[in-house]
Amino acid sequence: MTDFAIELNGICKRFGAVQANRDVSMNIAKGSIHGIIGENGAGKSTLMSILYGYYHADSGSIAVDGKTVRIRNSQEAIRLGIGMVHQHFMLVDNFTVLENIVLGAEGGLLLKDGMAKAREHLQALNRDYSLEVDPDAIVGELGVGLQQRVEILKALYRGADVLILDEPTAVLTPQEADHLFCILRALREQGKTVILITHKLREVMDITDAVSVMRAGTVVGNVRTADVDKEKLADLMVGRKVTLKVDKAERAPGAAVLDVRQLCLTDARGVKLLDGLNFQVRAGEIVGIAGVSGNGQSELLEVLAGMLEPTSGEIRYQGADLLQEKSSQPRAALYRKKGIAHVPEDRSREGLVKSFPMFENAILGYHDDKSVSKGGLFSRKMLLERSRDFIRQFDIRPDNAQLRVGLLSGGNQQKVVLAREIHANPELLLIGQPTRGVDIGAIEFIHKRLVELRDAGKAILLVSVELEEILALSDRILVMAGGQISGEVAARDADTISLGLLMGGHKH
């Protein structure tokens, strides 16, 4: 017998050019709560997907209860007593709680006996862990917190001894999160092992016994929680990276172009995605918004671009509140006409129509522009001319304006979007993840362009999960966590530790 529920040894996994896990080893003690912490893309989810049988490791071994095993699919993982609570719940909305729980483990051709047995079992579990779930409720009508408990019940009903939770608090209110932690503690008392994937330092410090820190696919630390503090963890998580050099002169910013006041956005489930944001972006400055993704940055960009309607607050642009504007056209088009350009985070879904050629993509959102049409019809010649200009100015390759945009590399796609938005000569540029999936050469080019735009006196709001990028480009840095701004730092005073703490939701 061994004291470890799970032992991972030298796990490697590569997806194409990306090494998602590199020689990852960790031991997870029985009856403990083990945290796995790291930034986006650090390889946490990949590792757990390997443990749960979704992926197969290229090399390395897994031992459950001291026995080396091969986990080929999730059914085998379940049989080994491993349960997973997915970030996106795997529930059938119009089923009752009970039906969801017995699905796939009905125990016989007829439902009656299995359901009765499950109901008893469920009541016992409900009692043991104070889950407070009504077996006959329709799952789709339950709140997120309860749905998550149904997922936990599903795993326990299948006899899980090891429970993996993937970012469980991302969708929860603080109260629900507290209740979840009570449940997890109860599970530990009953001898269950819990693996908690998270990026929130507070959670790790609050409830884990041990923690593995991952960065860029490797484990950079396996420590006992009692032996570390938040600062140490933040440092491990973010690491000290070589800063990208961007030549950027100091520049005194001008008047405020964008002035956001008390901006709030609440989703249908009542979760506050944006929670009372206040900030300004001035002419001639780049304001960077740092944060682990999913903390409201995407929603902020969409609200400012007119794609989402905020619940309350003001967006003052050049002195006037945009939300008070009455217009028959969609907000996004209106804002664009007023000089707010938007390079969306997900360029392939929201920035481009991938099956259209480059010259058509070059005017998306600017169709009304008179300079590309003649007598109410597009002039193909003018369209082609414009995209040839873009190709020249932004060094887009291959230099063929008739090529489908989907065939270009990520970097060149981004250049098409950027060229289009900059061509409109905006006063305010909103840009999300400017260099996600972009090669090094193009990164440098895009960064240079953004600085040029700033030097030309334009205001830029930059959202990125790449700290390196935020540090290199921004004049001021705002950090978002849980829909709030957890802190503001001038770029020259910023360092990764303080930013890491702020990103973990640790307020100044």
Which residues of the shown chain bind another protein in the complex (CB under 8 A)?
49, 54-55, 74-75, 78, 84, 86, 90-95, 99-100, 102-106, 108-112, 114, 154
The radius of gyration of the chain's CA atoms, rounded to the nearest angstrom, is: 25
Give least dist CB 50 to another protein, A. Answer: 11
Span between the terminal Cα atoms of the chain, in Å: 46
**DSSP 3-state of 88:** coil
Q: Using the minimum distance from each CB to another protein, give the nearer residue, 77 or 343.
A: 77
181 neighbors 148 (Cβ within 8 angstroms): no
Give least dist CB 70 to another protein, A. Answer: 18
Total Cβ atoms within 10 A of residue 27: 17
Give least dist CB 19 to another protein, A. Answer: 19
Longest dimension (CA), the chain: 82
What gap in Å lies between CA 146 and CA 93, rounded to an integer? Answer: 13
What gap in Å lies between CA 182 and CA 188, rounded to an integer? Answer: 10
Give least dist CB 113 to another protein, A. Answer: 11
Q: Which residues have C-beta within 8 Å of that of residue 111, sequence separation ≥ 6?
A: 102
Angstrom distances, CA of residue 59 to CA of 27, 44, 56: 17, 17, 9
Angle at 501 between CA 495 and CA 506, to 5 degrees: 140
Give least dist CB 103 to another protein, A. Answer: 5
Give least dist CB 162 to another protein, A. Answer: 16
Tokens of 359: 């010259």
Q: Using the minimum distance from each CB to another protein, give the nearer residue, 105 or 320.
A: 105
Q: Using the minimum distance from each CB to another protein, give the nearer residue, 84 or 277.
A: 84
Helix (H) or strand (E) segment spanning residue 236: helix 230-238
Q: Using the minimum distance from each CB to another protein, give the nearer residue, 109 or 377.
A: 109
Crossing angle for the helix pair 410-423 and 440-455, to the nearest 10 degrees: 10
Q: Using the minimum distance from each CB to another protein, give the nearer residue, 83 or 310.
A: 83
Q: Using the minimum distance from each CB to another protein, give the nearer residue, 118 or 481.
A: 118
What gap in Å lies between CA 476 and CA 287, rounded to an integer? Answer: 5
Q: Using the minimum distance from each CB to another protein, give the nearer residue, 33 or 150.
A: 150
Give least dist CB 51 to another protein, A. Answer: 13
Nearest CA to 387 out of 353, 417, 359 is that of: 359
What gap in Å lies between CA 70 and CA 67, rounded to an integer? Answer: 10
Give least dist CB 104 to another protein, A. Answer: 3
Q: Using the minimum distance from each CB to another protein, give the nearer residue, 15 or 380.
A: 15
Q: Is the peptide bond before 344 cis (omega within 30 degrees of 0)?
A: no
Q: Using the minimum distance from each CB to another protein, give the nearer residue, 74 or 222.
A: 74
Give least dist CB 362 to another protein, A. Answer: 32
39 neighbors 215 (Cβ within 8 angstroms): yes
